[in-house]
Chains A and B, each alone.
Chain A
Amino acid sequence: TQLLEQSPQFLSIQEGENLTVYCNSSSVFSSLQWYRQEPGEGPVLLVTVVTGGEVKKLKRLTFQFGDARKDSSLHITAAQPGDTGLYLCAGDGGGSNYQLIWGAGTKLIIKP
Chain B
Amino acid sequence: NAGVTQTPKFRILKIGQSMTLQCTQDMNHNYMYWYRQDPGMGLKLIYYSVGAGITDKGEVPNGYNVSRSTTEDFPLRLELAAPSQTSVYFCASSSGTGGTNYGYTFGSGTRLTVV
Question: Which of B104, B105, B107, B109 makes the CB contact (< 8 A) with A100?
Answer: B104
Is the pair A31, B107 in contact by a Cβ cutoff of 8 Å?
Answer: no
Pick from B67-75, B76-84, B94-102 the stretch touching chain A.
B94-102
Is the pair B40, A45 in contact by a Cβ cutoff of 8 Å?
Answer: no
Question: Which of B42, B48, B94 makes the CB contact (< 8 A) with A102?
Answer: B42
Which residue of the partner chain A has the closest CB to B40? A104
Contact with B along A88-104 (1 / 0, CB 8 A): 10101000111110111
Is the pair B41, A42 in contact by a Cβ cutoff of 8 Å?
Answer: no
**Interface SS of chain A:** loop
Min CB distance B34 to A, Å, is 12
Which of B40, B101, B103, B109 is most buried by chain A, counting CB atoms within 10 A of its CB? B101
Is the pair A88, B42 in contact by a Cβ cutoff of 8 Å?
Answer: yes
Inter-chain contacts of A97 with B (CB < 8 A): 31, 48, 50, 56, 96
Inter-chain contacts of B108 with A (CB < 8 A): 40-42
Contact with A along B30-73 (1 / 0, CB 8 A): 01010000001111010010100000101000000000000000
Asked if A61 is an interface residue, CB under 8 A from chain B, the answer is no
Inter-chain contacts of A33 with B (CB < 8 A): 101-104
Is the pair A45, B109 in contact by a Cβ cutoff of 8 Å?
Answer: no
Min CB distance A7 to B, Å, is 14
Which residue of the partner chain B has the closest CB to A42? B106
Inter-chain contacts of A45 with B (CB < 8 A): 103-105
Asked if B21 is an interface residue, CB under 8 A from chain A, the answer is no
Question: Which of B31, B43, B105 makes the CB contact (< 8 A) with A98?
Answer: B31
Inter-chain contacts of A105 with B (CB < 8 A): 42
Asked if A43 is an interface residue, CB under 8 A from chain B, the answer is yes
Given contacts A97-B50, A103-B42, contact A40 B109 (CB under 8 A): yes
Question: Which of A42, A50, A98, A103 makes the CB contact (< 8 A) with B109?
Answer: A42
- Residues on A lying within 8 angstroms of B by beta carbon are 9, 30-31, 33, 40-45, 48, 50, 88, 90, 92, 96-100, 102-105
Between A and B, 7 residue pairs with Cβ closer than 8 Å are A31-B100, A43-B104, A48-B102, A50-B100, A100-B104, A103-B42, A104-B40
